[in-house]
Amino acid sequence: MTDQSTKNDNIIQSDLMDNFAKTADAFYNEIVVKQPRGSMPENLFLEYFLPYLTGLTPIPQDTNVYAEWISIAGSPISEVNILDSTTNEVLYTCPALFDTNTINTTKREPGESFNDIFIQYDMQLNTLPVVANNYLNQELTKKLNSVESLSSDVGNVLSWTEILTKYGYTDITSVTIHDDVEDDLIEYD
């Protein structure tokens, strides 16, 4: 082979690798980075979902509002575009029902997972119950503080505040919680 054909082969190989990298990046961005969003018309959101989501209307036993929302969103961690009922233009985006920004699934220090904490607690409980309880209290308090500090990202809160204000829900803190629906929680002494 000549030097020219080697150069041509290298150029072709380089072009193929560049194209492959661009295609892989585009695929990755479409699948992983760009979360798919469901959409619904504004009138459905206003008339059906918003009264339940605000807590102003109790959810009947035979209605599974959250499953219906998730079926539209695509997942509990997906946002939903609210569309103009006549033009189908995106008016705004509702945040996901479940904010996973406070959960770090990629990094876990040894001894800091809930499993590790409770294993350590169980090991101490038989021999030193007071020390075990103090340890558990300390570790769970650290967990709570770390979650609270991570959840200080107010993006979703601001989004919901804007949405609620748009529809006149300005004093949402005065909403009473409807606890007349039987739940499946187990009472502990």
pLDDT tens, N- to C-terminus, the chain (189 residues): 567 777 777 788 777 777 777 776 666 666 555 556 899 999 999 999 999 988 888 888 888 898 999 999 988 888 899 999 899 999 999 988 886 665 554 455 666 677 788 888 888 888 888 988 889 888 888 877 776 555 545 677 788 888 988 988 876 554 444 455 555 555 544
pLDDT of residue 83: 95
Long-range contacts of 67-76 (CB under 8 A, 24+ apart): 69/97, 70/97, 72/38, 72/39, 72/40, 73/37, 73/38, 73/97, 74/36, 74/37, 74/38
Instruction: Count Cα atoms within 13 angstroms, Cβ side, for 121.
Output: 15
- Token pair recorded at residue 126: 């038989």
pLDDT of residue 170: 75
Residues in the chain: 189
pLDDT of residue 82: 95
pLDDT of residue 45: 95
Query: Domain residue spans in the chain?
Result: 1-30, 37-101+154-174, 107-152
